[in-house]
Amino acid sequence: MALAVGLDQRAVHQCSRAAIQSQVSSYGRPNPPWEPPKFGIAASKDEEPVIPRISIFAGLRDESKEPRENQDEGVQLPSVAECAVHLQLLESFHVLREKVLKSNALDRTFSIWPKIPRRSAAEYRRNPRRAAALDPTFQARRQKKWHIFVDLAVARFASWWGEMDNILRLLDAGEIPPLDVLMVWHSLLLNPRMYTALCEESGYQGMSSLRFPWKAVHDAISTKDSSFVLTESATATYSKQTGLGPDLLGYLANFEQFAPAVTKVLSKWANTELRKADIDQALQASPDMAPDQVCLLEHCVIAIDQQPGPTSGLRNAVLRQVNFVEKMGEQVWLRSPALSGTLNRAISRYGQFLVLFKKYPSTLLVPTLDIDLAWHTHLCSPQQYRLATSHTAGRFIDHDDTIDKDALEGGLDKTKDLFRIRFGEEYLRCLCWDCEALRSALEENPVRQGCREVDYEAISETVSLQVAYHRAVEIARRKQEPLPVHAV
């Protein structure tokens, strides 16, 4: 079998790379080197395929219709639907970060200009690409925008968390916070000891028993472009609670609205060092400043506060998750032809992973990427996670994302060996679209029950066409072209 023999698997990957190159090159080239399958094109938006299929989310629980006291919190692993929404959420985080980093409007807001002799900011606005190319430090300095954005997101999370008397009621009603606040909450949940400490210090024990609002998150994310849109009710509630609108990026990008004192503060934050005295001076210099800008400066104070506290590690927690978000983005499982099979296998392997904690309590166990997705999804519902790990692993399992690379590599080697010994299966496996689609096809084929002989050629052809079609849809989606609908 191709999945069990390294040489054959390499051949699969070589063919896959050639197919990808041919499909990409066929867009705009009349005679590609290899003729990919041809697909029809949707005549209208209504005819375009919905990928992933809506059915993958069918098992989501609607927290607004099921009171917390009536929810069964027995031993549960995450569901396929929850893992699928998690992939959606991670892609929304990725899209948000890309927008922040690439935003020319934010460059203007924070006065991040190319350092070019005898050229002004006006020239940069006329020809930004040419001007930026002359400054090798420009792109690196633009990265500061993401760090500032995360600092403000942490401050906005602190304001949201401070309204805890209303949060549980709102979350139960399906009203979730904006994407930047959700990103911080998500990173906090992936550090369970930090999350527990914050709940205890704040006296908000109800948050430690809350199930993550996967249904509301799914409803807020567009399957077309992964944009995140709150309901009108959630938008109004958040604005009333914090004094800021839900779209932090859009607000900051509208630089022309800011008073000169605010612009000065933001510029100093991005280019030198911002102190609380600078913010106090800005507030004193503009006594008639608009309330939303006063609120922004107040959040700047929270953002630059270096005092130790339960939220002091949140900024780094968010930044550490960028690597995982990028890895998920590279896999694009969300629009894979084998999404359901990939997630089912990930959850099953995650259950086996938890068993290893019980059998080898003193060993550093390191997850693979698919297991890590299921693990992260589980962590987002603290009580569910606590019960399941205590039952399956014999104790609460912490999730530490600060372990250094050398320790992780050593732990992965040990985990690989222990997994093979315990379960008789390979731990490390290729998770690309082709290999995952083949696994799903072989699992679904009745030959495994001895009903008939396997027609590997037919399976291979079917899988090849499925992967080619989903790949064509993804290429068209990224090019913002009409999506393919069926083979010609």
Cβ atoms within 10 Å, residue 404: 7
Identity of residue 265: V
pLDDT, mean of residues 220-230: 92
Torsion over CA: 88, 94, 99, 102 (sign): negative
What DSSP element (H or E) covers 168? helix 164-172
What's this model's pTM, rounded to 2 decimal places? 0.90
Of 447 and 322, the structure prediction assigns the larger pLDDT to 322
Phi, psi of 393, deg, nearest 5: -95, -10
Cβ atoms within 10 Å, residue 393: 18
Query: Which of 121-130, 252-261, 320-329, 397-406 shows the lowest per-residue confidence on average (mean pLDDT)?
Result: 121-130
- Nearest-10 Cα torsion for 144, 147, 150, 152: -70
pLDDT at 308 over 80: no
Residue 341 neighbours by CB under 8 Å, 6+ apart: 436, 437, 439, 440, 443, 444
pLDDT, mean of residues 461-471: 92
Identity of residue 370: D
86 closest CA partner among 321, 250, 320: 321
Task: Give me the pLDDT at residue 444, please.
Answer: 83
DSSP state of 117: T
Average per-residue pLDDT for the chain: 86
Of 118 and 237, the structure prediction assigns the larger pLDDT to 237
Task: Give me the pLDDT at residue 113, please.
Answer: 86
Task: Give me the pLDDT at residue 285, please.
Answer: 87
Q: What is the pLDDT of residues 271-307, one digit of tens each?
A: 999 999 999 999 998 889 999 999 999 999 999 986 6
Judge contact between 164 and 177, C-beta under 8 A: no
Task: Give me the pLDDT at residue 205, please.
Answer: 72
pLDDT, mean of residues 246-256: 94
pLDDT at 23 over 50: yes
Task: Give me the pLDDT at residue 328, please.
Answer: 95
Q: Which residue has the tokens 């096809």?
A: 441
Q: What is the rounded CA–CA span in Å between residue 88 and residue 221?
A: 7
386 closest CA partner among 240, 238, 211, 228: 211
pLDDT at 118 over 50: yes
Q: What is the rounded CA–CA span in Å between residue 16 and residue 305?
A: 50
Judge contact between 36 and 22, C-beta under 8 A: yes
Tokens linked to 473: 């849809």
Task: Give me the pLDDT at residue 28, please.
Answer: 47
Task: Give me the pLDDT at residue 298, please.
Answer: 94
Query: Which of 40-49, 62-71, 72-81, 445-454 shows the lowest per-residue confidence on average (mean pLDDT)?
Result: 62-71
Tokens linked to 273: 């060092």
Identity of residue 386: R
Task: Give me the pLDDT at residue 201, please.
Answer: 84
Which 3 state secondary structure label does DSSP give 222? coil
pLDDT at 250 over 60: yes
Measure the CA angle with vertex 59, ends 350 and 196; round to 5°. 55
Q: What is the pLDDT of residues 416-442, one digit of tens each?
A: 999 999 999 999 999 999 999 999 999
pLDDT, mean of residues 264-274: 94
What DSSP element (H or E) covers 40? strand 39-41
Task: Give me the pLDDT at residue 176, please.
Answer: 92
Of 166 and 347, the structure prediction assigns the larger pLDDT to 347
Domain boundaries, the chain: 1-66+442-488, 78-321
pLDDT at 206 over 60: yes
Of 119 and 141, the structure prediction assigns the larger pLDDT to 141
Give the CA distances from residue 198 to residues 202, 327, 363, 484, in Å, rounded to whole numbers and listed in that order: 6, 29, 28, 48
Residue 58 neighbours by CB under 8 Å, 6+ apart: 81
